[in-house]
Amino acid sequence: MRLLNLFKIAFKAIVLNKMRTLLTMLGIIIGVASVIAMLAIGEGSKESIRTNISSMGSNIITIRPASASSSGVRASADEMQTLTLKDYEAVKDQATFLSYATPLVTGKGQVINGSNNWPSSIYGVNPDYLKIKVVDLQSGSMFTDAEVKTASKVALIGQTVVDNVFPDGQDPIGQMIRFNNIPFKVIGVLEVKGENTFGQDQDDVVIAPYTTVQKRILAIDYINQIMASAVSEDDAPNAVTEVSEIMRIQHQISNPNKDDFSVQSMEELISTFSSTSEMLTVLLVAVASISLLIGGIGIMNIMYVSVKERTKEIGLRMAVGGKGSDILMQFLIEAILISVSGGALGVLLGLTSTVFIEKFLNWPTSVAMYSIVISFAVCAVTGIFFGWYPARKASALDPITALRYE
Amino acid sequence: MSKEIIKIEDITRDFTMGAERVRALRGISFTINEGEFVTIMGSSGSGKSTLLNILGCLDQPTSGLYEIDGIKVKNLSRNELATIRNEKIGFIFQSYNLLARTSALENVELPLIYNSKISTEERRERAIKALKMVGLEDRMDHTPSQLSGGQQQRVAIARSLVNNPVMILADEATGNLDTRTAYEIMSIFQDLNEQGITIAFVTHEEDIATFSSRTIVLKDGNIIQDYKNENVQSAEEELAKLPKENH
C-alpha cells in the first residue's frame, strides 16, 4: 500500500518531466543497446566459427606424431615417423568410443590430364574416410577395402581439381589422370564443400587408398595421421583419453608428459578459435559497459539536481508526515523506474540494431537470452546504486531547512 | 474544563551559531485547550518561528516539557515525530507550499498518502469533504497555477484538515494575501474554529489577532503578554465593511 503510493508519486514525477527523463534515460538506453549488440556480434562470430568447424566433421579426432624430447634430438612433428599402421590397428581394435578410423598419409604433387595440370594434395585413406569427414560423392563411388588391400591405382577428386584438369566439362569418371606421374583411374567426384574456417579449399584434393599412396607415391611405411570419429560429439573427450592410453601402451610411454603423439578433437580446435573471438567479445562488452556506467552517472546527476530542485517539496512532504524512509523510497523508485524503463528501451534498440547489423553489414549475430537478462539486471542495480546517494541525501534533509529553502 | 491539546512547560531552545549561543526561547510555558483560536504574535527575532517549529514537532526543545494531545514529544525519534505530524497536526504555510502541476484534490490527499491505515477510496472521500469545507468543490481538478492566491491558500487549509488533526498550525497564513482575501481566509478559520477545531495562528499583523479568542505575544524569547480576547471580531462582518472592489 505504502510502496504503491510511493510508486505512484515517483511515476508522476517522471511523467511531469518527460523530456528530462528521456534525456536521462538516453545514457542507459545507449549503454544497454550497445552491450546487447556487442554481445550479439561476439556470440554470432563464435557461433559461425563453431558451425564452420563442425562442417568439417564435429566429432573428428586426429592422432598425430608429436616431437618427443626423450631421444635428445628434437625433430619436427611433420618429419616424425613414429606413427605406424600397427598403431592404427591397435586404435581401431581397442577403442570403444570410436565409430570409424582411417590411417592418413598425405603428399603434394601435380595432377595431370593430357595438357592440363594442377598442383594439389593427395590423401591416402581407407573407405571410412568419407564417413569420418561427412563427405558425400557427387558421382561415382568410393574405393573398396579390397582395392585398399591390393593398392589399386584408383582415386576420387574434388571439384577444384575437376575444374582445373577437366576444363572442357567432360565427365571425369572413368578417365585416367596422373599424380606425380603415377596413373590413377578416377572413380568418383567429391561433393563441393568450399573453404573451411582457415581459408583452405576443401575441394582441392585427390583421395586414394592409403596403401597406394604409401607405396607408389611416397614410398614410406609409416603414416602421417590417424583420423577417427567419436561415437558422438559428447563422447569426443572420452575418446581422446581412451586413444591416448592405447597409444601410450603402443609406444611404451609411462609419463603422459613425454607423449610422442598428440590426440586432438574438433572440440578443442573450436575452443581454441572461440577463445579469440571471446576475447574480442570481452573487449567490446567492456567498452559498452563503460557507456552503461556513464548512463548511470547521468541518472545520479539528474537525481541529484532533482533533489535540490524539489527541496521545498521534500520539506512539505516531511512536514505532513512523510518519513525519511518514504522520501528515500520515493527517489529511489524514481531512479529505478528511469533506469529500468531506459533498460527496456535499450533492449529494444539493441535488438533492432542487431537486426540491422545482420542485414546491412552481413555480420553474423546471435542474441543470447542471458545478455538481455544481464543488462536488464545491471540496469536495476545501476538505478539503485546511482539513485541511492541522492535519495539518501533527500531523506536526511531537515524539514525546517527544506521548507524554507528557496 | 476542556481537554488540553498543547501543554508546554518551561521550554527553551538554544542554537549554536559558530562560537555564539543564540537563545531563541528562554523558558516559555502555556497550555492551549481544545477549541481555542490562539494567535501567536511577535516581531521577527522574537522566537515565534522557533516556537511554531517546536509546536509542529518539526523541532525539539533544548529543555522543558512539551505534550501534544497527551503525548510527550521529548526524545521521540525522527520517524515518531513524522507520525505525530501526520496524525495530529495540520500545517498551513505563508507561501501555500502546494505541489505544482498537481490537482487541488491530489494536493489535499497528500498527508493521507503517508498514512497506510487509510485506503485509496477513503483518502479520496476525505479530500473531497475537506475541499467542500473550504468551498472549492468545483475546482478540485485545478492545478495551483490555475488558482488565485486565496484559492491556493484554501486548498492548503483543506490539506491541513484532511487528516482530522487535533490542531491546525498556521504560519503567517495571510502574509501573502491582500486585505480582502486575508479576511476571507480568516472567516474560514473562524468557521472551522466554531466547528470545534483548535487553531494556533502565527502572525505579526495586529488586525488578524482581533479575530482570535486569545493572543500570546513573544519578545526576545519570552512571553510578554497572554490574554483572552473579550471582543472577538467577525471576519465576515469586517469583510462586508471593506469598500467594494470594482469588478
Count CA within 13 A, CB hemisphere, residue B176.
Answer: 16
Partner residue facing B83 (CB), from A317, A319, A321: A321
Q: What is the pLDDT of residues B10-22, one digit of tens each?
A: 999 999 888 899 8
Query: How does pLDDT run across A237-269, given as a tens digit for each residue?
Result: 888 889 999 999 888 888 887 788 888 887 777
B126: which chain A residues are within 8 Å (Cβ-Cβ)? none
The DSSP code for A364 is: -
B85 — contact with chain A (CB < 8 Å)?
Answer: yes
Residue A279's contacts (CB-CB under 8 Å, 6 or more residues apart) are none
Query: Is A394 in the B-facing interface, judged by CB distances under 8 Å?
Result: no
Q: For residues B89 and B66, give the distance between their C-alpha atoms in angstroms, rounded to a whole number.
A: 14
Tens-binned pLDDT, residue by residue, of chain A (406 aa): 578 888 888 888 888 888 989 988 998 899 889 888 888 888 888 888 777 776 666 688 888 888 655 455 555 655 677 888 899 999 989 988 888 999 999 999 999 988 889 999 999 999 999 888 888 888 899 999 999 999 999 999 999 999 999 988 888 999 999 998 899 999 999 998 877 766 778 889 999 999 999 998 888 889 998 999 888 877 888 888 899 999 998 888 888 877 888 888 877 777 777 777 778 888 888 888 888 888 888 888 888 898 899 999 999 999 999 999 999 999 999 999 999 999 999 999 999 999 998 888 888 888 888 888 888 888 888 888 888 999 999 999 999 999 888 7
Within an 8 Å CB–CB cutoff, is residue A319 touching chain B? yes
How many C-beta atoms surround the C-beta of residue A183 within 10 A? 12
CA angle B159/B165/B169 to nearest 5° reads 70
Amino acid at B194: E
For A300, phi then psi, to 5°, come to: -60, -45
CA distances from A384 to A296, A307, A330, A379 (A): 10, 15, 12, 9
Question: Per-residue confidence of chain B (247 residues) as pLDDT tens digits?
Answer: 578 999 999 999 999 888 899 899 999 999 999 999 999 999 888 889 899 999 999 999 999 999 999 999 988 999 999 999 999 999 999 889 999 889 999 999 999 999 988 999 999 999 999 999 999 999 999 999 999 999 999 999 999 999 999 999 999 999 889 999 999 999 999 999 999 999 999 998 888 899 999 999 999 999 999 999 888 888 888 888 888 765 5
Chain B residues in contact with A325 by the CB 8 A cut-off are: 79
- Find chain B residues with C-beta within 8 A of A12's C-beta: 102
Distance CA B202, CA A355 (A): 67
Mode of pairing for the β-strands spanning B214-219 and B37-41? parallel
Q: Do A320 and B111 touch (CB under 8 A)?
A: yes
Nearest-CB residue to B99 (from A313, A325, A400)? A313
Report the gap between the CA of B97 and the closest CA in chain A (Å): 7
pTM of the entire predicted model: 0.73
CB contact (8 A) between residue A323 and residue B83: yes
Phi, psi for residue B106 in degrees, rounded to 5: -65, -35
- Residue B25 to residue B20: CA distance in whole angstroms: 15
pLDDT tens-digit readout, A321-357: 999 999 999 999 999 999 999 999 999 999 999 999 8
Which residues of B are less than 8 Å from A323 in CB distance?
78-79, 82-83, 114
**φ, ψ dihedrals at B33, nearest 5°:** -90, 160
The residue type at A213:
V
**What are the two backbone dihedrals, phi and then psi, of residue A225, each rounded to the nearest 5 degrees?**
-155, 155
Partner A contacted by B159 (CB < 8 A):
yes
> What value, to the nearest 5°, has the Cα angle with vertex B20 and ends B16 and B22?
60
Residue A18 contacts by C-beta under 8 Å, 6 or more apart in sequence? none
Q: Determine the Cα–Cα distance for residues B247 and A350; give it in Å rounded to an integer.
A: 62
In chain B the first and final C-alpha atoms are separated, in Å, by 48
| Interatomic CA distance for residues B11 and B31, integer angstroms | 12
Say whether A253 sits in a helix, a strand or coil.
coil
Domains, in order of start, for chain B: 4-240 (3.40.50.300)
- pLDDT reported for residue A392: 92
* Nearest one of A91, A61, A66 to A80, comparing CA atoms: A66
C-alpha–C-alpha distance, residues A11 and A118, integer Å: 74
